[in-house]
A and B are shown apart, each in its own frame.
Chain A
Amino acid sequence: DAMVIQNPRYQVTQFGKPVTLSCSQTLNHNVMYWYQQKSSQAPKLLFHYYDKDFNNEADTPDNFQSRRPNTSFCFLDIRSPGLGDAAMYLCATSRDSYSGGYTFGSGTRLTVV
């Protein structure tokens, strides 16, 4: 089945140690998103790619970076994780910019120790 896959499902990292989260999709969707979701909150958009065009949200910290080497894969790099970065990180895709629901991956729960 076509889907969005995130690895790993759980990630523990040390304070200040760089960490990379990965996302892959078999839907061939143009747009890929990275969201941060903390407990009992709505997902918060960090950035998205439309094809190779990168779009950063104004309030996304510089500590967060992203790469999309091809249509299928997208990575979230956290350069120096702080305790406040502990959260669920959700990758999502959508077919285009105008309509249609998002397909989310199962998420990566990041713990910072």
Chain B
Amino acid sequence: GQQVMQIPQYQHVQEGEDFTTYCNSSTTLSNIQWYKQRPGGHPVFLIQLVKSGEVKKQKRLTFQFGEAKKNSSLHITATQTTDVGTYFCAGSRAGNNRKLIWGLGTSLAVNP
């Protein structure tokens, strides 16, 4: 079936270091969404990418959607302890946003 692979599964960084998580889909996606889930919390929507090659920034976070719309990445510059959590990508096929295909998530730990 359709899958979204996400790597790495875990990442430990020192505060101030950069962090990147990658998602790859077995099929072309209509759009991809990114969520952050703090420990003990619920997923919080960060952003949606729709266009091929799209790049969006939110302060220290940079999101990219690949040209083939099969891969995506989230890059955090100069991590802070507030960045701790699990980052999920979730993609949808054309015309079916009601069926998100979730990556397994990347759990980020930041050492102060």
Contacts and interface: CB of A to CB of B under 8 A. Distances in A.
Interface string A12-51: 0000000000000000000101000000111101001010
A72 interface: no
Given A98-B95, A107-B42, 6 more contacts: A42-B88, A97-B95, A98-B97, A99-B97, A101-B46, A104-B45
Contacts of A105: 42
B89 to A, nearest CB: 10
B43 A43 contact: yes
B104 A101 contact: no
B102 A99 contact: no
Report whether over half of chain B's contact residues are helix, strand or loop; otherwise say mixed: strand
Nearest to A30: B98
Given A42-B104, A45-B100, A48-B98, A99 B42 contact: no
Report, as a range, how many residues of chain A touch the other chain: 20 to 34
Contacts of B35: 101-102
A103 interface: yes
Interface residues of B, number: 24
Nearest to A102: B45
Most buried by A among B31, B35, B43, B107: B43
Contacts of B33: 101-102
A99 B44 contact: no
Contact of B97 (A40, A45, A97): A97
